[in-house]
Structure 1
Amino acid sequence: MRTVLIAVIAAAALASSPASAKGCLRGAAAGGVAGHMAGKGHGVMGAAAGCAITHHHYAKKAAAARKQ
């Protein structure tokens, strides 16, 4: 549990904007839970993947909003 918390805090610190941080935290939480359910030691990998995926999603969404 502590490693997932550390991963979430690190991901939040690296986020560039509030919208991206929000998406990263949501993805890290969901990915951490899914990774934990997948097996021992997969929670951190799931949190990192969830953060990266939702950060990318929110970045695309923000870019589309800026074009309009």
Structure 2
Amino acid sequence: MRKIIVAVAALAALGSVSVSEAQAGCITGAIVGGIAGHFAHHGLAGAAAGCAAGHYASKYRRSHRYYRRAY
């Protein structure tokens, strides 16, 4: 029960902070990667890989946003 309360408090704290798009991608990827890594017993490695993947995806979306044409 205590872990759930701490997790909810941490997510509420993260939700109240304004972050840039790249940081949001890293945070989102780290959360998803950490959860996936937890099930494989490699939570820290999953969080690190998720952060890298989330940062890359955010950077990719940001760079390709300017090249889309409005038809």
Q: TM-score range by the shorter chain?
A: 0.5 to 0.7
Which structure's CA Rg is the greater one? Answer: 2
Gaps of 5+ in 1: 1-16
Equivalent pairs: percent with the same residue?
40
Please identify which structure carries the higher helix content: 1
Structure 1 segments (4+ residues) deviating >2 Å:
none
Q: How many equivalent residue pairs?
A: 50
Q: Select the structure with the greater relative contact order (CA < 8 A; seq sep ≥ 6).
A: 1
Distance 1:18 1:67 in 2: 21
TM-score (norm 1): 0.67
Gaps of 5+ in 2: 1-18
Q: Please report the RMSD computed on the Cα atoms of aligned residues, expressed in angstroms.
A: 1.4
